[in-house]
Structure 1
Amino acid sequence: MRVDTARGTFEVAATGEGGARPLVALHALALSGRVWDPMAAAMAGNRRVLAPDARGHGGSDWDGGPFGIADLADDVAAIIEVVADGPVDVVGLSMGGSTAILLAQRRPDLVARLVLADTTADYGPDRVAQWIDRAEKAVGVPREKQVAFQVDRWFSPSFVEAHPDEVRRVSDIFVATDSRAHAAACHAFAGLDADAGLGDIQAPTLVLVGRDDYATPPAMAQVLASGIPDARLEVLDDTRHLSLIERPDLWPLVEKHLDT
């Protein structure tokens, strides 16, 4: 559905009409809310799942200008204020997790419970050079030729072999993403520095990370779990960066946390 806000118009995939608090699911870099379709379908009997496309991604509008992760968080806040009555639960994966961290810091009134998967509040001292390089590749390399790099980061080799249709589904979303928006999001990561505010997060938080995630490794997840009051960390064996896509067996764990 299209959601008009004071910050622009966003595409939001809406699934389910369950009685629990709505769940807002925030996608990874250069993907879209459709990446959550399988999880949303599995949860549809218990809750409404709202999966917005970040600005410039999927079907959401974007003026072509630069933005930061805080801007993405403020976009989500504007969406929540339009589509939800009261606070929501939030699940964020990778870029979506960084967005969720800023959202929980800036608008604690909108976040009831929080799940942060394979994400970080700060990519470290080399982040500017690292993400400028990623931005240049996002626009300088044809999207189809970027897929192999992405798949290796996203999924374990065993998952790639066993689930080619799901790998293809996620890869197709990536290929369809605007390269300019992908690059702008990379530049946003270069400015991400939210560690100092972790202690301000009030929402009960579950932190998930693949043990083999080399994009946002377990050490980054440990920083989140140590900095957020009463957060709980789960390190997942044989799992890479898109843990909640690779591991449907985690969805009941997520629901248990949200329902506690």
Structure 2
Amino acid sequence: MLPSIAVRHLAGQPGRPLLVVGPSLGTTVDRLWGPVASALPGWNVLGWDLPGHGASPAVDRLTPGFSMAGLAAAVLAAVSDAAGRDVAFAYAGDSVGGAVGLQLALDHPLRVTSLAVLCSEAAFGTWSTWPERAALVRASGMDPMVASSPARWFGSRVGEADPRRAAAAADLAAVDPESYARVCEALAGFDVRSRLGTVSVPLLAVAGADDVATPPAALEALAAGVPDGRVEVLAGVGHLAPYEAPEEVAALLAEGLSPRSPQRTARGCG
């Protein structure tokens, strides 16, 4: 059973090229991507929230978990309900949102026209910490994540007194712990390195120079692994590039994503 995903309209008007944006674990798409979306006047921007985050309902505790492929399928279904079953779109995502973008480009290539992956990688499943993190939030709620995440999230541009820290922490505190744990478990099974050579759309990889979770080397390897990939590194930025440097991220997306007017793929494909 696929998780339920809420799609939010962030900016733009129907009829413009469609851009779908995805969040990092523990964040809401409005907070993370809102300023970027507002700086992209040529696009119609939709965002989605992870289960139990922002506008998306919490997972049903009686149903099995989901894989990254299942999460990507749920995102595609929600976008299709919002924009049209066969409408193709550009995609940009941060961290787990970027992993979902890779999964979409691999599993549904006719739906994705171009791809930006920010502060992410192709092999989250190589991390050994996901089961421990899932167990921790199930036992103790979100408090341990609220205490530890700022050190992983922010680069030197977002100082201790920056109000963006408190705002992001408040969003994280409101996350449903079981939903957070399920996403951790999905990430534990995610490794698409062997499939990168089949990515058929242009890929822009964006790294934060201060990102300790997915450092620039991870994004460089990702860009090198696809046929049409390039990497950009943002100075002073950590793991939440759209939130930390919205103007620069918007400029990169405006240049790097391929706009395409709304159109439909062959029915039944992708």
Tell me the residue number matched to 1:41: 38
Tell me the residue number matched to 1:255: 254
Tell me the residue number matched to 1:123: 124
Tell me the residue number matched to 2:46: 50
- 1:104-128 CA distances to partner (integer Å, 9 max, x unpaired)? 1000111011100000111364x2x
Aligned ranges for residues 18-167 of structure 1 at < 5 Å?
Answer: 18=13, 19-35=15-31, 36-43=33-40, 45-61=41-57, 62-64=59-61, 65-85=64-84, 86-123=87-124, 125=126, 127=127, 129-161=128-160, 164-167=162-165
Contact conserved, 1:80 with 1:110, CA < 8 A, in 2? no
Stretch deviating more after TM superposition (148-157 or 79-88): 79-88
- Off by >4 Å, runs of 4+ in structure 1: 6-9
Tell me the residue number matched to 2:213: 215
Corresponding residue SS for 2:231: strand
- 1:184-227 CA distances to partner (integer Å, 9 max, x unpaired)? 11111111111111111111110001122111122221221111
- Could you tell me how far apart the structure 2 residues matched to 1:105 and 1:181 are? 25
- Could you tell me how far apart the structure 1 residues matched to 2:12 and 2:233 are? 31
Contact conserved, 2:2 with 2:66, CA < 8 A, in 1? no
In structure 1, give the amino acid aligned to 2:50.
A
Corresponding residue SS for 2:35: helix
Which of 14, 29, 53 lines up with 2:9 in the alignment?
A: 14
- 1:34-67 CA distances to partner (integer Å, 9 max, x unpaired)? 2222222232x32211111123322323323311
In structure 2, give the amino acid aligned to 1:103.
L
In structure 1, give the amino acid aligned to 2:241.
S
Corresponding residue SS for 2:191: coil
Change (3 A) 1:157 1:138: farther
Contact conserved, 1:131 with 1:190, CA < 8 A, in 2? yes
Change (3 A) 1:80 1:142: closer
Stretch deviating more after TM superposition (82-91 or 56-65): 56-65
Corresponding residue SS for 1:108: coil
State the Cα distance separating 1:145 from its structure 2 match.
4.0
- 1:226-248 CA distances to partner (integer Å, 9 max, x unpaired)? 11111011122221111121012
State the Cα distance separating 1:153 from its structure 2 match.
1.0
- Could you tell me how far apart the structure 2 residues matched to 1:60 and 1:224 are? 29
Tell me the residue number matched to 2:268: none
Aligned residues: 251
Tell me the residue number matched to 2:266: none
State the Cα distance separating 1:16 from its structure 2 match.
2.6
Contact conserved, 2:113 with 2:258, CA < 8 A, in 1? no
- Could you tell me how far apart the structure 1 residues matched to 2:11 and 2:157 are? 31
Tell me the residue number matched to 1:172: 170
Tell me, which stretches of 5 or more residues in structure 1 are unaligned?
1-5
Contact conserved, 1:94 with 1:119, CA < 8 A, in 2? yes
Tell me the residue number matched to 1:3: none
State the Cα distance separating 1:11 from its structure 2 match.
1.9
Identity %: 32
**Which has more helix, going by share of residues?**
1
Contact conserved, 1:7 with 1:78, CA < 8 A, in 2? no
- 1:77-103 CA distances to partner (integer Å, 9 max, x unpaired)? 112322224211100100000111111
